[in-house]
A = this chain, B = another copy of it.
């Protein structure tokens, strides 16, 4: 949510000259993206996003992220398309940072997603999984099962600063997940961070998916499990089965889940809740209270995790509440 790197008019004009995009008309630093600096750029040819990659992004990963956007875009997914400069490069240097220009997507992200949003999300997620086939680069999920215990070890002595009982909740759950994590599920390129602020809609139609900077190779169904956590709980972290049902129905209508994927959904959802509980807890303890980036309360994911622990099978994610 911040502009970490300032760019001057002269350096940006020179940078834009390297692309066949006409003349620079204007640019504004935008308050999007926790990790990188983003500018909205107008040239005589159109509107673009300029991203300057800050220190939390490993430069070695950039060819994967940018190549994936090109691959998905060519396969019909509405995602930002990196623009190639006059030499054919998508990555350049600006203001001491690696930088890329990508196409601008219209749309707004839903602050309070509706059932129709979850339905469209499910379809788009399945289309994205299919479109990723054939992408030649690989990237491991740094925040998958193998990464959770090392991350927990970094703050396990300080859990009482967040809430009582958190240490044992995480420790017990990690043991469960390490014992129960499914193997051999259908794999491919997943987004891995498909929260509502990464999905744009114009009215109720899905207009684009952005922010592929956690994308990696992992189980497709884990991506759905992330979305169950990110889209299907209300502001009080109560599960909303209508949204879960719509998400799964939308996904199934494009790419039917296998029996193994269906059986694994509760444990995958527990794992996805763990992943965000761990990163939020770490950030909570390591981000100054008055920092540029707002801290997100880990307690939301304690409640989600406990809900998933109560789930017996995937059918529970679509069950209508009885009052």
Q: Which residues of B contact A291 (CB under 8 A)?
A: 290
Q: Does A239 contact B (CB under 8 A)?
A: no
- Nearest chain B residue, comparing its CB with the CB of A114: B10
Q: Does A32 contact B (CB under 8 A)?
A: yes
Q: Please judge, given known A-B contacts A23-B203, A40-B40, whether A9 and B290 are in contact too, CB under 8 Å.
A: no
Query: In the complex the two chains form, is B10's CB within 8 Å of A112's CB?
Result: yes
Query: In the complex the two chains form, is A108's CB within 8 Å of B24's CB?
Result: yes
Given contacts A8-B111, A26-B106, A26-B107, 10 further A-B contacts (CB under 8 A): A2-B31, A9-B110, A9-B111, A9-B201, A10-B112, A25-B106, A26-B105, A26-B108, A28-B40, A31-B31
CB interface residues, A 77-115, toward B, < 8 Å: 105-112
Q: Please judge, given known A-B contacts A8-B112, A9-B110, whether A28 and B31 are in contact too, CB under 8 Å.
A: yes
Q: Please judge, given known A-B contacts A23-B203, A29-B32, A31-B28, whether A12 and B292 are in contact too, CB under 8 Å.
A: no
CA distance A106 to B13 in the complex (A): 14
CA distance A3 to B32 in the complex (A): 10
**Least distance between A110 CB and chain B CB atoms (Å):** 6
Q: Does A256 contact B (CB under 8 A)?
A: no
Q: Does A30 contact B (CB under 8 A)?
A: yes
Residues of A within 8 A of B (CB): 1-3, 8-10, 12-13, 23-32, 40, 42, 105-112, 200-203, 288, 290-292
- Nearest chain B residue, comparing its CB with the CB of A42: B106
**Least distance between A217 CB and chain B CB atoms (Å):** 31
**Least distance between A77 CB and chain B CB atoms (Å):** 18
Query: In the complex the two chains form, is B40's CB within 8 Å of A30's CB?
Result: yes
**Least distance between A78 CB and chain B CB atoms (Å):** 13
CA distance A42 to B207 in the complex (A): 14
Q: Which residues of B contact A109 (CB under 8 A)?
A: 9
CA distance A8 to B235 in the complex (A): 14
- Nearest chain B residue, comparing its CB with the CB of A49: B28
Tell which of B8, B26, B31, B106 touches A29, judged by Cβ atoms closer than 8 Å.
B31
CA distance A120 to B120 in the complex (A): 51
- Nearest chain B residue, comparing its CB with the CB of A109: B9
Query: In the complex the two chains form, is B203's CB within 8 Å of A27's CB?
Result: no
Q: Please judge, given known A-B contacts A29-B31, A30-B30, whether A23 and B288 are in contact too, CB under 8 Å.
A: no
The 9 lowest CB-CB distance pairs between A and B, nearest first, are A29-B31, A8-B111, A9-B108, A25-B106, A28-B30, A3-B31, A26-B106, A9-B111, A30-B30
Q: Please judge, given known A-B contacts A9-B109, A111-B8, whether A28 and B32 are in contact too, CB under 8 Å.
A: yes
Tell which of B8, B200, B202, B292 touches A292, judged by Cβ atoms closer than 8 Å.
B292
- Nearest chain B residue, comparing its CB with the CB of A110: B9
Q: List 27 A-B contacts (CB under 8 A).
A: A1-B3, A3-B31, A8-B111, A9-B108, A9-B109, A9-B111, A9-B201, A10-B111, A10-B112, A13-B108, A23-B202, A25-B106, A25-B108, A26-B105, A26-B108, A26-B200, A28-B28, A28-B31, A28-B40, A29-B32, A30-B30, A30-B31, A31-B31, A40-B40, A42-B106, A288-B290, A290-B291
